[in-house]
């Protein structure tokens, strides 16, 4: 696989890759395929009608992983892909995605990934999505991902979504339809600084009897950055749904949380929690008493909060 030092840095940050990964993988750079490998357990096939891939996980496959990172290292470029995941009944798989942008130009670089998951009965998916951007240019670094999740009976979907920094603007949308006795778990972490903007929007339909959803978002906003967390939790059956949004605001930043809960069924139990504030002074004082500077103490609190 022919990669530059910048490519390798981005791959390590967004996908924990230090070389060619084991198992199935698809690595995309600047709108083109960089490297791919698949097997009979997890097959990766290029779409014929639009830009993107189909990832097909055979029923019953256990303890397997697939990497599908995307790299952008040029400006004046917009990359849109449509990736569909077909998870067979009883499969257990980890999917590591994410995108890294390195932009040294004054033009925008943008990646929009539209990912749709069809999760079979009794299947378990851990989906790790990381977004990160760097570069010395003034051009924007933009992510507008859409994730659609359709879960069948007794399936479990774990979404770990992390925005690591440097992203100028993101509008992340997640839609989920949860079947009987199925579970959706979301762990979101966002860090913004400067003039960055981040919007996250969850719409979750708890359709099946015994379905569950637990969405937890933790965010830190610094500088003049802005974040808006939106959630729409709809209980259409006997179900349980929980949404929690916790944020730390520093300097001149701003965080908004807009919850919506809709109990269509009288058997639905839905909960929303939100808390936004600054770092407690006593936390800083305690850490500074151990020899840390104020900035070091603040960073330690943030790392612990997002960890």
Asked if pLDDT for residue 75 goes beyond 90, the answer is: yes
In angstroms, the CA 177 to CA 233 distance is: 11
Mean pLDDT score, 170-179: 97
Q: Is 306 inside any structural domain?
A: no
Q: Is 298 inside any structural domain?
A: no
Other CB atoms within 10 A of residue 67 CB = 25
Q: Is 69 inside any structural domain?
A: yes
Mean pLDDT score, 1-19: 89
Instruction: Select from 171, 177, 228, 183 the least CA-distant residue to 206.
Output: 177
Give the pLDDT score at 22: 81
Give the pLDDT score at 74: 95
In angstroms, the CA 4 to CA 48 distance is: 29
Whole-prediction pTM value?
Answer: 0.95
Number of folded domains in the chain?
Answer: 1
In angstroms, the CA 224 to CA 173 distance is: 23
Mean pLDDT across the chain, nearest whole number? 94
Which structural domain, as residue segments, surrounds residue 145? 5-280
Please name the residue that has the structure tokens 């999505």: 129
20 — pLDDT class (breaks 50, 70, 90): confident
Give the chain as a 3 state SS string: CCCCHHHHHHHHHHHCCCCCCCCEEEEEECCEEEEEECCCCEEEEECCCCCCEEEEECCCCCCEEEECCEEECCCCEEEEEEEEEEECCCCEEEEECCEEEECCCCCCEEEEEEEEEEECCCCEEEEEEEEEEECCCCCCEEECCEEEEEECCCCEEEEEEEEEECCCEEEEEEEEEECCCCEEEEEEEEEECCCCEEEEEEEEEECCCCEEEEEEEEEEECCCCEEEEEEEEEECCCEEEEEEEEEEECCCCEEEEEEEEEECCCCEEEEEEEEEECCCHHHHHHHHCCCCCHHHHHHHHHHHHHC
Q: Is 113 inside any structural domain?
A: yes
Q: Is 300 inside any structural domain?
A: no
Mean pLDDT score, 172-194: 97
Query: Phi and psi (nearest 5°) for 222?
Result: -120, 175
Give the pLDDT score at 287: 77
Q: Is 195 inside any structural domain?
A: yes
280 — pLDDT class (breaks 50, 70, 90): confident
Asked if pLDDT for residue 235 goes beyond 80, the answer is: yes
Other CB atoms within 10 A of residue 124 CB = 18
Q: Is 103 inside any structural domain?
A: yes
pLDDT tens column, 193-202: 999 999 999 9
Mean pLDDT score, 128-140: 95
Give 23 or 169, the one with higher predicted confidence. Answer: 169
Asked if pLDDT for residue 247 goes beyond 80, the answer is: yes
164 — pLDDT class (breaks 50, 70, 90): confident
296 — pLDDT class (breaks 50, 70, 90): confident
Mean pLDDT score, 260-282: 92
Share of the chain above pLDDT 70, in %: 100
Residue 163 structure tokens: 């925005």
CB 87 within 8 A of CB 125: yes
Q: Is 12 inside any structural domain?
A: yes
């Amino acid at each position: 696989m022919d990669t530059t030092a910048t490519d390798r840095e981005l791959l390590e940050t967004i996908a924990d890759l230090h070389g060619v990964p084991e198992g199935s993988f698809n690595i995309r750079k600047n709108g083109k395929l960089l490297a791919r490998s698949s097997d009979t357990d997890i097959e990766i096939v290029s779409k014929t009608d639009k830009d993107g891939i189909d990832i097909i996980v055979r029923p019953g496959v256990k303890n397997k992983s697939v990497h599908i990172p995307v790299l952008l290292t040029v400006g004046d470029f917009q990359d849109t892909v449509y990736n569909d995941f077909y998870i067979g009944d009883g499969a257990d798989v980890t999917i590591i995605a994410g995108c890294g942008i390195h932009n040294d130009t004054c033009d925008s670089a943008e990646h929009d990934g539209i990912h749709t998951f069809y999760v079979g009965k009794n299947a378990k998916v851990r989906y790790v999505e990381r977004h990160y951007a760097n570069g010395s240019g003034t051009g924007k670094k933009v992510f507008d991902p859409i994730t659609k999740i359709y879960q069948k009976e007794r399936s479990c979907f774990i979404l770990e979504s992390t925005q690591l920094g440097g992203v100028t603007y993101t509008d992340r949308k997640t839609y989920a339809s949860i079947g009987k006795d199925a579970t959706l778990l979301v762990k979101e972490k966002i860090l913004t600084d400067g003039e960055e903007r981040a919007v996250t929007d969850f719409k979750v339909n708890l359709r099946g009897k015994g379905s569950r959803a637990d969405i937890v978002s933790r965010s830190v906003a610094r500088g003049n950055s802005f974040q808006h967390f939106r959630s729409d939790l709809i209980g259409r059956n006997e179900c349980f749904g929980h949404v929690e949004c916790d944020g730390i605001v520093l300097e001149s930043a701003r965080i908004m949380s807009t919850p919506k809960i809709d109990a269509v069924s009288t058997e639905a139990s839905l909960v929303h929690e939100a808390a936004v504030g600054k770092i407690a002074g006593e936390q800083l004082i305690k850490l500074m008493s151990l020899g840390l500077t104020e900035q070091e103490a603040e960073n330690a609190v943030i790392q612990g909060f997002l960890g």
